[in-house]
Amino acid sequence: MTTTMMKNPVTLLACILIFSSLTVLASDNTFGPDKCCFKFIANRLPKNKVTSYKYTDRLCSMEGVLFTMKRGNEICADATQQWVKDIIEAKDRTKRGTTTTTTGASE
């Protein structure tokens, strides 16, 4: 009879430990993307105000582009819009041009 009474508290304690560790894991943001877009900007952004861009994670519900502006704020834009593609192409050209210039200068 004593053995049966000891098993229940041990089982209860084990369940509490398991559930509490799952709660800690669920509250940690390691299983999801860092940044997602839930709304896109409606207006076009000036190319000269954008310093960089990155695509949102594929795990996000809406596929978008995060533009970093000169002031440091980030703005979400629809990756399918032509003006967004134009800014991305311009930033890529600038990056390639800088890399080419740097490589050419060092040779």
Query: Which tens digits make up the pLDDT trace of 30-49?
Result: 566 788 999 999 999 999 99
pLDDT at 10: 66
Q: Supply angle C-alpha 38, 88, 84, rounded to 5.
A: 50
pLDDT at 16: 57
pLDDT at 17: 44
pLDDT at 106: 42
Query: What torsion, rounded to 10 degrees, do the Cα atoms 73, 76, 77, 78 define?
Result: 170
pLDDT at 5: 52
Q: Which helix (H) or strand (E) holds 57?
A: none
pLDDT at 100: 45
| pLDDT-flagged residues of the chain (< 70) | 1-7, 9-32, 98-107
